[in-house]
Chains A and B, each alone.
Chain A
Amino acid sequence: MLCVASGLARPWRAEHAQARLSAGTGHPGTMEPCDSPESTPRQNASSNLKDYFLASTPWQKRLESVRKQTSFVQTTPRRKVPECSQLQETIDPHKLAFLLHKQWTLYSLTPLYKFSYTNLKEYSRLLSAFVAAEKQKGLAVEVGEDFNIKVIFSTLLGIKGTPRDSEAFLVQILSKSQLPSKNREDKVLWTGWFCCIFGDSFLETVSEDFTCLPLFLANGSESNTAIIGTWFQKTFDCYFSRLAINAFNLSWMAAMWTACKMDHYMATTEFLWSVPCSPQSLDISYAVHPEDAKALWDSVHKTPGEVTQEEVDLFMDCLCSHFHRHFKIHLSATRLVRVSTSVASAHTDGKIKILCHKYLIGVLAYLTELAVFQIE
């Protein structure tokens, strides 16, 4: 394991940034460059969107969205949604503290059929019975433990991007305390929550009976996750799949989270790269002081309020070339596996830990986008 902690000197960075930018756009002199100005695809996108909203029936809408998606698969995100926004006031701070500083495993979820927020008590009862039954199956020796499981459904108010997003809700498996005393709290065995942030494009394509909550986060043992997943799949005809985050999206996250304004930094900005070599892969951990990373981002960032592909590439290229200068290792030939900043940390296997309450919605918005993309 190779660990590097480094600070970046300002004057070197500015000229190096310039050098990388010019190297990337080399054309041979005799070829005409591909001239597609940045504004044209955006105009096309907005006119497509207008036609899209004029379509009336749900079938037409679905066709339009499929057509839109097949053309979008070919383009990289040119202009991203504005950087992480401030949190809405309506989120209960106690619940919020519960969501932060925990490692969540990510899943993408297809829309739930005939799910209703008024039946949460009913669902709690059914799911408790199901979990108890599952745990009893095949394990003859363990008795007594299983009857003390209860499942609670609760809504998480305020965790949404637009008012049209479906309400987020939380599922918890608790073990009832065995002691009769009242002040003994129930132990939380497993937590999972469903949410949807800025899922507008997705919401359009589904009919009224479906509830769209494409992002599912789970914390707890895998067996419990599997049991809960099976129940939801049987009851609401949906499908869970693991959401892996590839290196391309991890570098976007690194750039967006570094761009967030923070009052004080709790953690260093750290990247973990995996070098594919035999017999065992080598891990390179690259830690940068968060203020240096922010300063680097500020020197790269041009348009206020938006993050572009070129800026993300430039940011990562600067970090990689700094590393290359010292160690002669091309980080771009390796695979980015983990990104950790003061805002949040993400692993390529689909694990996330959110550290900052201010940017919770921003982080979830990007994850929702990835989940929606995986479903479609």
Chain B
Amino acid sequence: MSVLMPMDKLPGLNKATILLVGTEDALLQQLAEAMLQEDCASELQVHLAKSLPLPSNGSRPRIDLIVFVINLHSKYSFQNVEESLCHVDSRFFLGKLCFLATGAGQESHCSVHQSMVVKLAHTYRSPLLFCDLEVESFRASMAQRLVRMLQICAGHVPGVSALNLLSLLRSSESPSLEEL
């Protein structure tokens, strides 16, 4: 069972690589395009995958940030993410991984309850972002946010590390999550 490691390869010069994992191909494509359109000092590489484990491929660069995209309209995407999480090394959970839930705007179409996703993110101690990826303006602002997170995780922002960012994001969570 191949596990994705954060530090098994050397970093490329000024390169930052993000891996988007999710079953919704169209949404991932659109998010990737939005991210690539952002102005960024580093060279961005966006990889898309339906699920983990990734096929063994020597030429893949080091992954700096993994984003698991869960569509709240589809239970299948949630189950897919749960199964893919087994193939991620534990050091990714120190700030180099986050969850993105889409589709919360249309409550009548939701088959996955929001609290299930919240519980998943809480179990893995990773940030959870909500965004309706079908709406262009939300997608653009989320792409901007992910690019900034990616730069920090790749170490391109002096003074801030992925772990710093994780603790910063964690402190804004509501305390009632501890009761879950």
Interface residues of chain A, those whose CB is within 8 Å of chain B, are: 23-24, 26-28, 30-31, 33-34, 36, 40-41, 44, 71, 73-76, 244-248, 251, 330, 332-336, 348
Contacts and interface: CB of A to CB of B under 8 A. Distances in A.
A333 B113 contact: no
A28 B88 contact: yes
Given A41-B179, A76-B115, A348-B108, A332 B82 contact: no
Contact of B82 (A26, A44, A335): A26
B93 interface: yes
A247 B110 contact: yes
Nearest to A247: B111
Interface in B85-140: 85-86, 88-90, 93, 107-116, 118-119, 122-125
B124 A333 contact: no
Q: Which among B75, B110, B179 has the highest number of chain A CB atoms within 10 Å?
A: B75
A36 B180 contact: yes
Given A246-B109, A247-B109, A348-B108, A33 B123 contact: yes
B76 A330 contact: yes
A335 B86 contact: no
Contact of A75 (B85, B115, B125): B115
A246 B176 contact: no
Contacts of B107: 244, 246
Interface string B59-84: 00000000000000111110100110
A40 B178 CA distance: 11
B177 interface: yes
A333 B76 contact: yes
A116 B89 CA distance: 65
Given A23-B83, A30-B90, A335-B73, A75 B112 contact: no
Nearest to B92: A28
B23 interface: yes
Given A247-B109, A334-B74, 5 more contacts: A23-B83, A28-B88, A31-B93, A34-B180, A74-B114
Interface of B: 23, 73-77, 79, 82-83, 85-86, 88-90, 93, 107-116, 118-119, 122-125, 176-177, 179-180
A370 to B, nearest CB: 12
A246 B179 contact: no
B77 A333 contact: yes
A31 B23 CA distance: 25
Tell me what chain B mostly uses at the interface: helix, strand, loop, or mixed.
Answer: helix
Contacts of A76: 113, 115-116
Contacts of B122: 34
Contacts, number: 81
Taking chain A's interface residues, is the majority helix, strand, or loop, or is none over half, making it mixed? loop
A208 to B, nearest CB: 32
Contacts of A24: 79, 82
Nearest to B86: A26
B140 to A, nearest CB: 23
Nearest to B107: A246
20 contacts: A26-B86, A27-B123, A28-B90, A30-B90, A31-B93, A31-B124, A34-B180, A74-B115, A74-B118, A76-B113, A244-B108, A245-B108, A247-B111, A248-B113, A330-B76, A332-B76, A333-B75, A335-B74, A335-B111, A348-B108
A332 B77 CA distance: 8
In the A-B complex, the 10 residue pairs with the smallest Cβ-Cβ separation, listed nearest first, are A333-B76, A247-B111, A30-B90, A332-B75, A332-B76, A244-B108, A34-B123, A333-B74, A330-B76, A76-B115
Contact of A248 (B76, B86, B110, B176): B110
Given A28-B85, A75-B115, A246 B110 contact: yes
Nearest to B79: A332
A7 B75 CA distance: 24
Contacts of B179: 36, 40-41, 44, 71
A75 B83 CA distance: 23
A40 B179 CA distance: 8
Nearest to A44: B179
Nearest to A324: B76
A28 B88 CA distance: 8
Nearest to B91: A30
Contacts of A33: 123
Contacts of A34: 119, 122-123, 180
Nearest to A34: B123
B23 A333 contact: yes
Contacts of A336: 111
